[in-house]
Amino acid sequence: MSTTLHFTKGHGTGNDFVLFSDPDGQVDLTPAQIAAIADRHFGVGGDGVIRAVRSRHIPAGAAALAEDDGAEWFMDYHNADGSIAEMCGNGIRVFARYLFDNGLAELADGDTMAIGTRSGVRDLQRNLSGFQVDLGRWRLAGGEPLVRARNLQIARPGLGIDVGNPHVVVALASDEELDSADLGYIPQLDPEPADGANVEFVVPAEPLVKNGVGHIRMRVHERGSGETLSCGTGAAAAALAVRHWAGAGAPNQWSVQVPGGTVGVRMFPTEDGEHVSLSGPAELVFEGDLTV
């Protein structure tokens, strides 16, 4: 039986998504249907598909409501291949823009909105650049897997960073190396994480720190989506990794340049440990109807 979806296309620094509203949790798309929607040749096209569903109407939302009963909305996010992802830093900002622009939620300046995700509740605020989301506690994932990427001559050690979803960050020596990497091919990790990982390749600016802000440039291959123009959680992981490598005295505020633009990353202390936040633009581009 076919279903007609009214969808919206949005992006955050070029990381693009197909969004649709299903408040009561009545639309159950298969991974194949989601992949067809995300297909850039035969579908709408996007790095992921996001369903806006009220937390009480999705099994994964029970944990979100138990954590924060204000998390009315759940971001049901799938990668472009139809696989489930825990979290998406650019996607949650676009999700918030979608809720507000469609009258599904309100957020006054200075207020905070709780949104349910599979990696827990995330708090979001408006700011001058668009929206800022608290990605929560982060952790070093341990180990230094060797990373091989097409057109990079030798394997490089990566640093595992978890910001609600798994990342491996690789430092490169120059912009030329970064530009030469062919991320249309999946980077090979040794050992390979059980659930895979997003892989970021990063080059520090020269100088690294200007006016108390760290500056880096990054490209990313996202698990289940391929190379994308931006990855919000990946930008946070890259900034955390470079700060870790830089050592004592490294800043807690970072500007991360991705192919699709620039996002901001900030680390800050909380009662339950250090959190990391992501800020940047969120745009809605067009809408339409699609039969799936």
Sequence-ordered alpha helix ranges (H) in 18-60: 31-38
pTM of the predicted model as reported, rounded to 2 decimal places: 0.94
Q: Active-site residue 211, yes or no?
A: no
For strands 4-12 and 146-148, give the pairing.
unpaired
Give residue for tokens 């996002």: 263
- Summarize the confidence of residues 75-83 as an average pLDDT: 97
- Summarize the confidence of residues 204-209 as an average pLDDT: 96
Distance CA 254, CA 232 (A): 13
pLDDT digits (tens, 9 = 90+) for 219-244: 999 999 999 999 999 999 999 999 99
- The predicted pLDDT at position 130 comes to 86
Distance CA 11, CA 22 (A): 20
Q: Active-site residue 231, yes or no?
A: yes
* Segment holding 179, helix H or strand E: helix 175-180
- On the question of pLDDT at 120 being above 80, the answer is yes
- On the question of pLDDT at 199 being above 80, the answer is yes
For strands 213-222 and 273-280, give the pairing.
unpaired
Distance CA 98, CA 111 (A): 17
Per the residue annotation, which of 88, 115, 171, 197 is the catalytic one? Answer: 88
- On the question of pLDDT at 200 being above 90, the answer is yes
Angle at the Cα of 182 from the Cα atoms of 177 and 187, rounded to 5 degrees = 100
The interaxial angle of helices 232-246 and 89-101, nearest 10 deg, is: 140
Tell me the residue type at 140: L
Task: Judge contact between 24 and 57, C-beta under 8 A.
Answer: yes
Per the residue annotation, which of 159, 170, 231, 236 is the catalytic one? Answer: 231
Task: Judge contact between 64 and 53, C-beta under 8 A.
Answer: no
Residue 1's pLDDT band, with cuts at 50, 70 and 90, is low
Distance CA 51, CA 223 (A): 19
Reported as half-sphere exposure (CB side, CA atoms, 13 A), residue 223 has a value of: 23
What number of other Cβ atoms are within 10 A of residue 10's Cβ?
A: 26
